[in-house]
């Protein structure tokens, strides 16, 4: 799976926020750092299909060589992980992950089976029936990634994903999250203020200048 940003420029009204011409290959992470207001969230919105006025884009975005410029957000196969895990607090871990599975062919028992498998693959099966409010910050962050992956994305966007975690958990989570994404061959775009995130991602870095 690849993500290609083909001569992409983003604008706020008529001002250029940023311009990128990049290919992110399977399992690679492209990190973007830049000051507040430089257009990082706008870039993620453009890829996710959520660009709205006053923002606009020229150039084209391809996922697996297919142009997604005119594709609605829910068909793009873009998974996003935010700094808040945004889990459904009234549901269990298993229900949170099941909620994100593609709504197609699986019946209820098959969905539960798939969730068990996903949790077992990463050694977290003991969490399946736990209400999410009872999880630690690090556990919630892991479940948030699994929920993103449950939707079988072709591309993952990480928006300051570790910024709310304590220092020790951050270190563990960086290794875990980048490992999971690499093993699955997912091209990943990371937006962060933290150079330690960039170091852990072991990919190419683009620093956006002050606008």
Q: Which parts of this chain interact with ligand ATP (CB under 6 A)?
A: 12, 17, 34, 36-42, 54
For ligand ATP, which is the closer residue by CB, 54 or 72? 54
CA dihedral 85, 207, 45, 188 (to 10 degrees): -60
For ligand ATP, which is the closer residue by CB, 56 or 92? 56
Structure tokens at 168: 């020790």
Cα 173 to Cα 18, 163, 169, 180, 197: the distances in Å are 29, 11, 6, 10, 10
For ligand ATP, which is the closer residue by CB, 42 or 140? 42
Shortest Cβ 5–ligand ATP spacing (Å): 15
For ligand ATP, which is the closer residue by CB, 9 or 64? 9
Shortest Cβ 10–ligand ATP spacing (Å): 8
Q: Which H helix or E strand runs over 31?
A: strand 29-33
Backbone angles phi, psi at 155, to 5 degrees: -145, 145
DSSP single-letter state for residue 84: S
Shortest Cβ 183–ligand ATP spacing (Å): 29
155-159 vs 78-81, strand pairing mode: parallel
| Contacts with 211 (C-beta within 8 Å, 6 or more apart), sequence order | 15, 17, 35, 37, 38, 39
Sheet holding 66-67: strands in order across?
15-24, 3-12, 55-63, 66-67
For ligand ATP, which is the closer residue by CB, 39 or 161? 39
Shortest Cβ 33–ligand ATP spacing (Å): 10
For ligand ATP, which is the closer residue by CB, 83 or 171? 83
Q: Are 141 and 169 in contact (CB under 8 A)?
A: yes
Shortest Cβ 133–ligand ATP spacing (Å): 27
Shortest Cβ 42–ligand ATP spacing (Å): 3
């Amino acid at each position: 799976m690849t993500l290609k940003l083909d001569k992409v420029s983003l604008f706020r009204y008529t001002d250029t926020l940023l311009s990128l011409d990049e290919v992110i290959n399977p399992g690679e992470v492209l990190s973007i750092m830049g000051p507040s207001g430089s257009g990082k969230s706008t870039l993620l919105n453009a890829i996710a299909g959520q660009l709205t006025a006053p923002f606009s884009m020229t150039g084209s975005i391809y996922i697996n060589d297919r142009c997604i410029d005119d594709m609605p957000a829910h068909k793009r196969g873009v998974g996003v992980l935010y700094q808040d895990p945004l889990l459904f607090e009234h549901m269990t871990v298993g229900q949170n992950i099941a909620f994100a599975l593609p709504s197609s062919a699986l019946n209820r028992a098959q969905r539960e089976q798939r969730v068990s498998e996903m949790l077992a693959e990463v050694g977290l099966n003991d969490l399946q029936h736990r209400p999410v409010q009872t999880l630690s910050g690090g556990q919630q962050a892991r479940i948030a990634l699994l929920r993103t992956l449950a939707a079988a994305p072709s591309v993952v966007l990480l928006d300051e994903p570790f910024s709310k975690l304590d220092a020790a958990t951050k270190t563990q989570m960086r290794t875990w999250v980048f490992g999971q994404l690499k093993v699955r061959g997912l091209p990943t775009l990371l937006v962060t203020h933290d150079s330690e995130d960039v170091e852990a991602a072991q990919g190419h870095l683009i620093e956006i200048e002050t606008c």
